[in-house]
Structure 1
Amino acid sequence: MSLAVLELVSIILLLCTAEVLPGQPQSRDPPTQSLDEFRQRYLLPLISSDTRNCTLNACESLGIVSQLLMLINSMPNGTQSPARDQRLPKPKMDVHGNGDANSDEINAMTHLANFDLVKRVRQIESRLRSVEQPIWHLSSGSQIEWNHCTSGVCRCNPDTKSFTCWNTNLKSVPVTQVIPMNMVSIDLSRNILSTLHKDTFRGLTLLKELDISNNVLDFLPFDLFQDLDSLLHLRIQNNQLEDIDPRTFWKLRNLNILDLSKNEIGLLPESIFFHAQRLTVINMCDNQIKNFPPNLLRDQLELEELDMSRNKIERLGSGSVRSLEKLKTLDFGWNQIAKIDDDFFAGLKSLRILMLHNNRISSISGTIFNNLVNLVTLDLTMNRISHIDGQAFVGLKHLNELLLGQNSMSSIPADLFLHVSALTRLTLFSNNLTTLEEDDFRGLGSLKILMLNNNILKYFDARAFEPLTQLEKLHPSAVVPPPGALTPTS
């Protein structure tokens, strides 16, 4: 009996032995009757058989899952009780022995437990479907077989050794399609594939590009890519993946570009990239990732671009990206980062673009950016920054663009910009600045754009703008008063 089938049995047992919570509303036709019927028809024969000689195959298991899902979906508005081991709290009783009027909370918790149960059943359904999925005909790659490929339902090009079924409304790969084993490029994007058989790409050792993006994939067999030693580009973005097996990419030793953006991935196994050591681009943006594992990228010595934006990461810990000496672009924008260890960026000597906008950062230390000697763009927009150490930007001699808008700065620390002489654009809009002092912009002789709008400036020293000899745009525009005057902005 397969692991998926065993897990199926355990879930069915939990569901079929569930109790109704005290105070839980009852329907006229209790769902327990349907569950009992389901138990008698499917479960008892299954668990009474000798599991050592079990002949239940994936297709038969899938039939049981389908019946179970139909049963769950037919239950009225989440009134089905959760499994016993969910241990939801019993409803409180008032002094008269009646149920607590706040039964909506219990209903919501019960519904949540049922939702989790349905999710687990659907995950098993996906695994079973991947075993029973049809696969196309793989051929040796002769000219005759390439001719067969071109006569299939999808487009096949013998000259470029490429194949595409782009935007053809496929629910599964076409079984009549001939796929020569010397194929170089396959595009299955923009379809409605929900899973793939583990042998779909078996033997395609020369494949360099694979695009399965923009489908409804919610499960990938861990050995789906095991023969793709030559693969360079893999695109899986815009699917419904919630979990990735740690072994999924272990055979992709030559992979350069991996796009897993716009999925529902919540947990990244720390070893997921351990054997794919030639990655130059990893895109994990727009997922549900909360934790950035410290050893996730330990072997990615060739990585040049990493996009972790639009996730739920709360902290960036020491050593997580220390070995990425070739990294040029790093994006952690649109997360929930409140804490960054001071040496997090220590090894990124080639970094040029650093995006930290739309987070919860409240202060910037004097050493956090120390080693970013080639940094050109630093975006800290829309955080909660109220304090910046005056030495924070020392050493950023190539910094061209510094974005500090929409924070909580009330003043500019002394000599903050003294060592960023290459800066041409500085945004400080939507902060809490009330005054500008004489030396606030000292060192910004190359600055061309300065955004100060939406602050609460009341007074500024006219000499504050004297270092800005190359300034082309000041917003809001203002008439600079005579030197030496402390002048109200109004």
Structure 2
Amino acid sequence: MNITKSVILAVTIFCLVVGQVNCQAKEETTTKPETPKEKTKVKDSKLCKKCICDLDTLFLDCSGKLQDWLSAEEWEVLTNGDIVFKTINLEHNNLTSVPILPKYDVENLYLANNQIESITEGAFQNLTELTTLDLSHNRITSKVLVPDVFKGPFTLNDFAALEKLKTLNLGYNDLHTLDADLFEHTPNLEELVLCSNAFHVIDRLSEMAISGLSSLKTLDVSYMEIDDLPETILHGPRDLETLIAAGNLFHQLPKALCRATNLTSLVLNQNPIDSLVEDNVFPPLTKLTHLSMTFMTKLYKIGPGAFSELQSLTELILSDNKLLNEIDEEALSKNVTEGPYLDYPPLEKFYLNNCNLTTLPKNLLMRWDKLKALDLRYNPWNCDDSNDYLINVLIEQINKTTAILAKNVQCATPAALKDVEIVRVANEHMMASSTGSIIWVGLLVILLIAVPTVAAAYVMKRRGCFGVFRRNESGGNRALYNRTSFNEDFHI
């Protein structure tokens, strides 16, 4: 029995010793630091001999330098490099597809002007720092652009969002509609560009996709061949600041504008709107400061109240509207207080060049002198009394503030002044006015001197002063005569 106990004790001690050794070995194994992998010197790599590596701005420019996507070796240079490029440009490389890209902390990725027609789902899921993605000028169709294209990194439960993506450019592709859930993985998108995709109409699915972007600040729907905007499309993006809707088929101002209460900039160039009158005027946009309506081939009239609800407007661009010949003097004014005075927007820049205007109403603005730029060039101005304020006041103001804008502001009528610059007409008018003023001043001076003089002479005559003068004069003559006679006698 004692032997058995001794054996058991010995075995126990042996196990404890062995266990301790194993634990120590394990601890040494787990705590032993790994040798860090040596970073690749990106500047000396083959990649930077092929592409332009700007280490100061952390910009990698491979535009037009690649035959296909970066090779595994080139990606290794980037992912294990001693620097991280924040901007990568892969434009003009004839890329046809986008695979799942390796993990990398790039912030701005430009893939425009390729031949991309397919995108792998989750292609950008490893680019968690991505803020700008440009996929414009490719061949992407609505069928290819599914929601999971933009899904983020995989988590235990699901795929996360690309939370840092702020700008997405899908312009100049082959899109005609959007999946209703297309942006479910990009909840913080602030700028969306859809220009030059032939939508023809923004359908319900596309409307749902766009209206769901609550953080959107800039929306570009220009040149999409649409004739209107759905009324509720701007209901979701409450913070929308810039709307670009140029080059479409709008015949009326979109009713959706009334929901864009925070809009600060609006571009409606090249739309076939023919007039802004009656109900077709701007709704209250109290924060709008910039409005551009240029190259409107049918716009001929801007009626009363057209811009009255834009009382924060500082820049109004109405240039290159070849038919525009009438702007009502009440187009900008509004009676806010319902009192005797009108309110006007604080315009600083007003562009009316290359239109068909002949007169400019003086009451269109109250404080013309507050303008920093007023462009009236290349209009067929009428240089008669109907344009007195333009000729005698405004042109001189323009010439003083921005002299270049005073040139080519020319008369079209009357025939005697055709093609004569208005600044010259104004100067000659001022000279004529000055000459006339000098004549009148001279006449006034003469009258002021002559009248008292004549009056004084008349009084003196009445009092006989002129008789005294005659008597003194006779005495003088007689004295002179006597002296002469005396001298003659002396000589004899």
TM-score for both structures, normalised by structure 1: 0.58
Quickly say closer, same or farther: Cα 1:269–1:336, change in 2 above 3 A.
farther
Deviation at 1:378?
Answer: 0.9
| Alignment pair present for 1:208 and 2:107 | yes
Comparing 162-171 with 314-323, which one deviates more in the overlay?
A: 162-171
| Alignment pair present for 1:283 and 2:184 | no
Q: Distance in 2 between the 1:249 and 1:356 partners? A: 31
Quickly say closer, same or farther: Cα 1:308–1:425, change in 2 above 3 A.
same
Deviation at 1:191?
Answer: 1.4
Give deviations 1:256-303, integer Å, cap 9, x for gaps: 122223334333334322431212222333433433443332233333
Give deviations 1:84-135, integer Å, cap 9, x for gaps: xxxxxxxxxxxxxxxxxxxxxxxxxxxxxxxxxxxxxxxxxxxxxxxxxxxx
**1:174 aligned partner, one-letter code:** S
Is the CA contact 1:345–1:372 (under 8 Å) kept in the aligned structure 2? yes
**2:108 aligned partner, one-letter code:** E
Report the secondary structure of 1:385's partner residue: coil
User: Partner of 2:234 in structure 1?
Assistant: 321
Deviation at 1:455?
Answer: 4.1
Quickly say closer, same or farther: Cα 1:209–1:440, change in 2 above 3 A.
closer
Report the secondary structure of 1:378's partner residue: strand
Pairing partner for 2:349 from 406, 425, 436: 425
Q: Which runs of 5 or more structure 1 residues have no equivalent in the other structure?
A: 1-141, 484-490
Deviation at 1:381?
Answer: 1.0
| Alignment pair present for 1:357 and 2:259 | no
Report the secondary structure of 2:109's partner residue: strand
Deviation at 1:409?
Answer: 3.4
Report the secondary structure of 1:296's partner residue: helix
Number of equivalenced pairs:
339
Pairing partner for 1:306 from 195, 219, 227: 219
Alignment of 1:208-287 (within 5 A): 208-243=107-142, 244-247=144-147, 248-251=149-152, 252-287=162-197
User: Partner of 2:210 in structure 1?
Assistant: 297
Q: Distance in 2 between the 1:328 and 1:377 partners? A: 11
Deviation at 1:352?
Answer: 2.8
Is the CA contact 2:122–2:151 (under 8 Å) kept in the aligned structure 1? no
Deviation at 1:380?
Answer: 0.7
User: Partner of 1:143 in structure 2?
Assistant: 37
Which one has the largest radius of gyration? 2
Pairing partner for 1:385 from 296, 299, 303: 299
Is the CA contact 2:353–2:377 (under 8 Å) kept in the aligned structure 1? yes
Is the CA contact 1:400–1:425 (under 8 Å) kept in the aligned structure 2? yes
Q: Distance in 2 between the 1:409 and 1:255 partners? A: 43
Report the secondary structure of 1:297's partner residue: helix
Q: Percent identity at matched positions? A: 22
| Alignment pair present for 1:396 and 2:310 | yes
Report the secondary structure of 1:316's partner residue: coil
Q: Normalized per residue, which structure has more helix?
A: 2
User: Partner of 1:170 in structure 2?
Assistant: 67
Deviation at 1:307?
Answer: 2.6
Quickly say closer, same or farther: Cα 1:390–1:342, change in 2 above 3 A.
farther
Is the CA contact 2:306–2:332 (under 8 Å) kept in the aligned structure 1? no
Quickly say closer, same or farther: Cα 1:305–1:470, change in 2 above 3 A.
farther
| Alignment pair present for 1:376 and 2:289 | yes
Q: Distance in 2 between the 1:482 and 1:209 partners? A: 60
Q: Which runs of 5 or more structure 2 residues have no equivalent in the other structure?
A: 1-35, 153-161, 334-342, 400-404, 411-420, 431-492
Is the CA contact 1:322–1:347 (under 8 Å) kept in the aligned structure 2? yes
Q: Distance in 2 between the 1:411 and 1:148 partners? A: 63
Q: Distance in 1 between the 2:219 and 2:273 partners? A: 20
Is the CA contact 1:446–1:470 (under 8 Å) kept in the aligned structure 2? no
Q: Distance in 1 between the 2:43 and 2:173 partners? A: 32
Quickly say closer, same or farther: Cα 1:470–1:272, change in 2 above 3 A.
farther
Q: Distance in 1 between the 2:393 and 2:210 partners? A: 43
Is the CA contact 1:194–1:216 (under 8 Å) kept in the aligned structure 2? yes
| Alignment pair present for 1:451 and 2:369 | no
Quickly say closer, same or farther: Cα 1:215–1:328, change in 2 above 3 A.
same
Deviation at 1:152?
Answer: 5.7
User: Partner of 1:347 in structure 2?
Assistant: 260
Deviation at 1:145?
Answer: 6.7
Quickly say closer, same or farther: Cα 1:181–1:438, change in 2 above 3 A.
closer
**1:246 aligned partner, one-letter code:** V
Q: Distance in 2 between the 1:389 and 1:402 partners? A: 15
Is the CA contact 1:421–1:446 (under 8 Å) kept in the aligned structure 2? no
Report the secondary structure of 1:344's partner residue: helix
Q: Distance in 2 between the 1:392 and 1:283 partners? A: 29
Quickly say closer, same or farther: Cα 1:378–1:392, change in 2 above 3 A.
same
User: Partner of 1:411 in structure 2?
Assistant: 326
**1:398 aligned partner, one-letter code:** S
Give deviations 1:427-455, integer Å, cap 9, x for gaps: 33444445555644555442341416334
Report the secondary structure of 2:119's partner residue: coil
RMSD: 3.9
Q: Distance in 2 between the 1:482 and 1:415 partners? A: 29
Quickly say closer, same or farther: Cα 1:460–1:213, change in 2 above 3 A.
same
Deviation at 1:357?
Answer: 0.7
Quickly say closer, same or farther: Cα 1:408–1:177, change in 2 above 3 A.
same
Q: Distance in 1 between the 2:331 and 2:378 partners? A: 20
Report the secondary structure of 2:171's partner residue: coil
TM-score for both structures, normalised by structure 2: 0.58
Is the CA contact 1:250–1:273 (under 8 Å) kept in the aligned structure 2? no
